[in-house]
C-alpha cells in the first residue's frame, strides 16, 4: 500500500474526521458526505483504525471512486484521499 508524508497530500475539498472511530463508521461517514463536494474533488478521511486503511480503498473500487492515496498523519493514522468520480 502507498503511504507518503502528509505534506505531499493534495488539498481536500472536504475533510472527514473519523479518528477514534472503528470501521465501518469511517466508510459510512464518507458515503454520506462524498456527494457534498463537486465532481473530481478530493475528500480526505482521517482515520486511525487499521481496517480503514484497506477498507476505504476497497470501497472506492466498489463504488467507482478514485483512491488518490493514503498519507501518514503525524499523530498516527492516515489521511485517506478519495476523488469523487460521479
Range 23-40 average pLDDT: 97
Distances (CA, A) of 16 to 10, 70, 77, 86: 15, 14, 13, 19
pLDDT single digits (tens) 36-83: 999 999 999 999 999 999 999 999 999 999 999 999 999 999 999 999
Domains in the chain, ordered, with CATH?
9-83 (3.30.110.40)
- Is 23 annotated as catalytic? yes
23, 44, 47, 60: the catalytic one is: 23
Q: What is the pTM of this model?
A: 0.89
Q: Residues 21, 27, 31, 34: is their CA dihedral positive or negative?
A: positive
Amino acid at each position: 500500500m502507498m503511504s507518503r508524508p502528509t505534506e505531499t497530500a493534495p488539498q481536500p475539498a472536504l475533510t472527514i474526521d473519523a479518528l477514534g472511530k472503528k470501521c465501518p463508521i469511517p466508510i459510512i461517514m464518507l458515503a454520506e458526505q462524498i456527494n457534498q463536494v463537486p465532481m473530481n474533488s478530493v475528500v480526505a478521511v482521517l482515520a486511525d483504525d487499521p481496517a480503514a486503511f484497506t477498507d476505504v480503498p476497497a470501497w472506492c473500487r466498489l463504488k467507482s471512486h478514485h483512491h488518490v492515496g493514503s498519507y501518514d498523519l503525524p499523530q498516527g493514522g492516515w489521511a485517506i484521499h478519495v476523488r469523487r468520480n460521479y
